[in-house]
Amino acid sequence: MDQDPILANLNEAQHEAVVAPLSGQYQILAGPGTGKTKTLTSRVAYLMNTVPAKDILVMTFTNAAAREMRSRIKQLIPNNNEVSKLNVGTFHGECFKYLVRYGSRIGLSGKITIADPTDQAAIMKEIVNSAETTVKLEEFGYSSKLGKCYSNPTTKMNINLDPKHCIKKISEFKSHGYTEVQDFAKVCPNEFNSPIGMYIYRKYQDELEENGLVDFDDIIIKTRDLLKQCPDIVSNIQAVLVDEFQDSSTVQLELTVLFAKATGNITIVGDPDQSIYAFRNAQPENMRLLQKMFPNSKVIYLEENYRSTQPILDIAVGLIRRDRNRIGGDRLLKSQDSQNTTKKSLPVLAQFKSEKDEAAYVATQIKYLRDCSGTLFKYQDMAILARTGYASKKCELELAFNGIPYRVLGGFKFWDRAEVKLVVDYFRVVNSDNDRVAISSTINAPKRGFGPVTLTKLLTRVDDKTSIFTQLKQYAYDEEFREEHGLKIRKDALEGLDNYIKLIEGCRDILKEADALGPATCIRNILDHILEKTNLVKILAANDANNEEKRLENIELIRSQIDLVYQNDEMNDDGGAAEEDLNPLQTLLLSLSLGGDGEDSAYSNDRVTISTMHSAKGLEWPIVFSINTIDDHVARGGDKGEEEERRLLFVSLTRAKLLLYVSFATTLVKFGNEEEASMTRLLTGLEHHFKTCDKGKGTTNISWDMFVSYANFLRRPVPDRKQIQFASSATTVPSKSASFSGFTLASSVIERPQNKKRKPHIPSAPISRSLSIPTNNRTSLLNTSKQTRATGFRTPLMPSKPTPTLNSPNTLPHSHPIPPKRKTLGTRRGPINQKLPFT
DNA sequence: TGCCCTTAAATTTTT
DNA sequence: TTTAAGGGCA
Ligand SMILES: Nc1ncnc2c1ncn2[C@@H]1O[C@H](COP(=O)(O)OP(=O)(O)OP(=O)(O)O)[C@@H](O)[C@H]1O
């Protein structure tokens, strides 16, 4: 056994990859749970022995994966504070740092803002609806129209001018690294490879540039251009390491090579079976292409699975075998587990008659597994995975209702809520004179008396020299200018314009004090200024009074989120782009566009994870619940895209180490109508690998011997037998009915008011799907505290048979985590970006 | 300009 | 079921 902790616990192949010489190219190809990320992070730690941290670049494709990687490296070498100097992040994050610092070399002006999908849609909508486009359509012979599709009868070319569709096509084009319009022949020969398509593309790019915006694809493309032109800026990079390489796009492959230009030292790991980002133009073939580009690159295969029990892997293998586009031959997954008990313990397949029952079951099971396992299972050992963000909402409500603490990965972001986004748009206007998109979404919110005619006039550039904000000032304060450009404006609207400009300039004055105030205080002051001058607090308070949704609370949460951003910023001085090159406002905006939602470490880490399947990639838990496993969620849209959906399910199931629960409901409510549903076809024929939870079989009872095996498998201490509550008396008595009515205990035990209009009174922060900060502190603060664990507590959601609790005296200072106003569970919440009261 | 009415559409996943 | 969007009218 190796003395070096970095090299301990590696098998032969892993060891070989970790200690491989710095120079050269290495590909680690292996299935889930074989230690790819472990190998990559160990290699980083190992290389740090000889290479300065700042000269190592480690990239992956999602924020969650980047966070995981950083934390694993830290764990490997906890006392090495060089770690914070490593360049670890997402492709987009690392690229943007270079653009901020060196963008001027390729003509990017100082202030770059990232165009989010809303901005992209706004810009594209304006383009397709413009008079100019109508003229062009005519000019290029697109004389017939069907919905948003235009066709040219002569050339037989069609083009779909739906903004979303246009953006998708352009994004695909850019993902190949193309910038010249004739390259549309290669990606979209029958639609955008036409004068009208090229015109739309050019117009879109011009519009971005004029607004000082780059979209996500531009971040990659422009960095590629920058590195091609000025390879000197990455001359220090001695090693480039990329995780989940199957998720890379064509231009990202090109970029990987460019980053390594100085030495050519590249290590990548990947698994084509886990390719789940083709929808955003990932090319799993890149693994092979890289090998072609570097014929001498060494490929290392890892065979052993260290994560999961064999029954879990059997299902995964059975599933992935059916991938019709599979790259490479069939691969086995071999568990390293040698215990007879866990080897034979099958995952659970559970069927319910409603999604509500399903959610209640998951919550009950989570509580049971934690409360009855002594100290073996904690909340943080469990995850609920769903295809979409909103699909897990019912479970989220059920957890909150039961006082189970949780965190949410993926799905809607806090910053995407309408009221929060508005504030952010104000920040953007303060930051830049040219951000017309942000000006347009703030200038009349709240209402300042402009109608569509005035707005168009105000926001249309009179010439390309004057910035849009300067132009607004001229309209406001220069009567001659108004006359010259034919702006007729009412007196109240003119006042509104004056107020708007004063508000923005007031914020800019505060920003000038940034050095004296410190970043967080400065931004909070700007926030206060915006809130005061827009009267937003009063407006929202009035609105909240008639509404379940408490928007004002979200505004308050912005403050604590701001603090989080600057705290995290201080912790990483990787490449140090942030402090030196950006003012505090820009740091904030950058972190909002490229970072995930902040996690507040002040709160307990012992929380259940609720995640989208995508965000779960690269992570693992002892216990995983795959919910809503029906075609409608998990394999929607027939054959097209089925392979990727299958791989996605493969990824989800292989997140589980020990216990896997796959569940679904036989009905689903769609637009108010109840529809029938059944288990996804992706799993058809694999049922025998599960114990099914109906017809009295498949109980979830756990015996003492099993607990011992679980502990051994997880390499955890065997819990005190006295603390274990045996399932036989404690829980989940399987019902005789096939539809599991035995588990509708939530509805039989908890009194659910009939009034359907009332929504559950749940802390709004957790529901915001992003914030870990509870606003309704009664629930979450309480349950995340250590005390709760020590004393335990009982919630009304318990099995129909009374549960003898050994360690919960049931006499708590706060014995009832449920807010007194109890309301119907399972009601759908409105979308998060709901219209604001004044728009 | 802004309000009220009718009708259509809507639910991925991430940077 | 709920929300966005488009048309008519004061
Ligand atoms: N040689 C080993 N000995 C013991 N445990 C190991 C070994 N290699 C990896 N593991 C453990 O196996 C689990 C899976 O490792 P890791 O997350 O690195 O796999 P992966 O190949 O990246 O998986 P995925 O592709 O699913 O993200 C981790 O808990 C890791 O600590």
Average pLDDT over residues A149-169: 89
Strand-pairing partners, residue A669, are A674
In the structure, how many helices (H) and strands (E) does chain A have?
A: 36, 22
pLDDT at A344: 80
Strands (E), A76-153: 87-90, 113-114, 144-146, 149-152
How far are the Cα atoms of A82, A363, A436, A471 from residue A574, in angstroms, in the given order? 10, 40, 32, 39
Cβ(A556)–Cβ(A590) below 8 Å: no
Helix (H, G, I), strand (E, B) or coil at A164: helix
Q: Is A34 in the pocket of ligand 1 (CB under 6 A)?
A: yes
pLDDT at A744 over 80: no
Q: Provide the 3-class DSSP secondary structure of residue A217.
A: helix
- Asked if A637 CB < 7 A from strand B, the reply is yes
Looking only at the bridges linking them, the beta strands covering A673-676 and A667-670 are antiparallel
- What tens digit of pLDDT does each residue of A660-699 get? 999 999 998 888 788 888 899 999 999 999 988 753 334 4
Helix (H) or strand (E) holding A178: none
Which of A581, A435, A570, A434 minimizes the C-alpha distance to A100? A581
Q: Is A335 helix (H, G, I), strand (E, B) or coil?
A: strand
Pairing outcome for strands A266-270 and A25-30: parallel
A298's enclosing H/E stretch is strand A298-302
∠ CA A639-A645-A650, nearest 5°, is 135
What average pLDDT does chain A have?
81
How far is it, in rounded angstroms, from Cα A544 to Cα A547? Answer: 5
- Residue A831: name the closest of A771, A776, A773, A767 by CA: A767
d(CA A409, CA A392): 11
The mean pLDDT value for A307-332 works out to: 91
CA nearest to A648, candidates A27, A32, A66: A32
| Amino acid (one-letter) located at A715 | R
Cβ of A336 less than 6 Å from ligand 1: no
Q: Is the CB of A272 under 6 A from ligand 1?
A: no
User: Cβ of A93 < 7 Å from strand B?
Assistant: yes
A230 touches A104 (CB < 8 A): no
Mean pLDDT of A365-376: 88
pLDDT at A807 (0 to 100)? 25
Q: Are A230 and A105 in contact (CB under 8 A)?
A: yes
Return the closest nucleotide (C1') to the Cα of A834.
Answer: C3
Asked if residue A409 lies in contact with residue A615, where contact means CB atoms within 8 angstroms, the answer is yes
Structure tokens at A446: 């709240």
Does the CB atom of residue A389 touch ligand 1 within 6 A?
no
Q: Is the pLDDT of residue A621 over 90?
A: yes
Binding residues of A: 30-37
Contacts of residue A576, defined as CB under 8 A and 6 or more positions apart, other chains included, come to none
CA of A155 to C1' of C2 (A): 42
The token pair that represents A350 in the structure block: 């559970």
* Number of residues assigned to chain A: 839
Assign 3-class secondary structure to A737-769: CCCCHHHCHHHHHCCCCCCCCCCCCCCHHHHCC
Which residue's alpha carbon is at the smallest distance from atom 26 of ligand 1? A32
Mean pLDDT within A218-227: 96
Counting residues of chain A whose pLDDT is more than 90, the rounded percentage is 50
Amino acid at A725: Q
Dihedrals phi, psi of A717, to nearest 5 degrees: -60, 140
A34-64 confidence digits (pLDDT tens) = 999 999 999 999 999 999 999 999 999 999 8
- Give the separation between CA A220 and CA A214, rounded to whole angstroms: 10
**What residues form DSSP beta bridges with A27?**
A268, A299
Find which of A216-220, A554-558, A724-728, A777-781 is predicted with most confidence, using mean pLDDT. A216-220
Identify the band that residue A766 occupies on the pLDDT scale cut at 50, 70 and 90: very low
pTM: 0.84
Looking at 3.90.550.10, 3.40.50.300, 3.40.50.150, 3.30.450.20, the CATH number of the domain A12-106+223-302 comes to: 3.40.50.300
As a rounded value in angstroms, the CA-to-C1' distance for A542 and B2 is 21
Strand intervals (E) in A631-708 = 656-665, 667-670, 673-676, 691-692
Report the b/e string of A30-43 with b at 16+ CB within 10 A. Answer: bbbbbbbbbbbbbb
pLDDT value at A614 more than 50: yes
* Under 8 Å between Cβ of A196 and A136: yes
What value does the CA radius of gyration of chain A take, rounded to a whole number of Å?
A: 28
- Which protein residue has the closest C-alpha to ligand 1 atom 3? A9
Interhelix angle A519-534/A551-571, nearest 10 degrees: 160
**pLDDT value for A15:** 96
Say what the ipTM of the complex is: 0.93
Distance CA(A354)–CA(A666), nearest Å, equals 6
- Sign of the alpha-carbon torsion through A349, A805, A815, A605: negative
Enumerate the β-bridge partners of residue A333.
none
**A336-413+601-777 and A431-580, same CATH topology:** no
Fold classified for A431-580: PCRA; domain 4 (1.10.486)
- Pair A128, A200: CB distance under 8 Å: yes
d(Cα A173, Cα A180) in Å, to the nearest integer? 10
Structure tokens at A687: 């049922």
Distance A10 CA to ligand 1 centre (A): 10
Q: Which residues contact A780 (CB under 8 A, 6 or more apart)?
A: A400, A403, A405, A603, A763, A765, A766, A774
The residues, ordered by sequence, that sit 6+ positions from A288 with a Cβ below 8 Å of its Cβ are A327
User: Any idea what DSSP says for residue A679?
Assistant: B
Phi, psi of A393, deg, nearest 5: -60, -40
Question: Is any atom of nucleic acid chain B found less than 7 Å from the CB of residue A216?
Answer: yes
Q: Which fold has domain A336-413+601-777?
A: Rossmann fold (3.40.50)
Residue A153 Cβ < 7 Å to strand B: no
Residue A598: closest CA among A611, A588, A584: A588
**CA dist., res. A374 & res. A80, Å (int):** 35
Domain boundaries, chain A: 12-106+223-302, 116-210, 336-413+601-777, 431-580
Closest-CA residue to A62 (of A770, A772, A615): A615
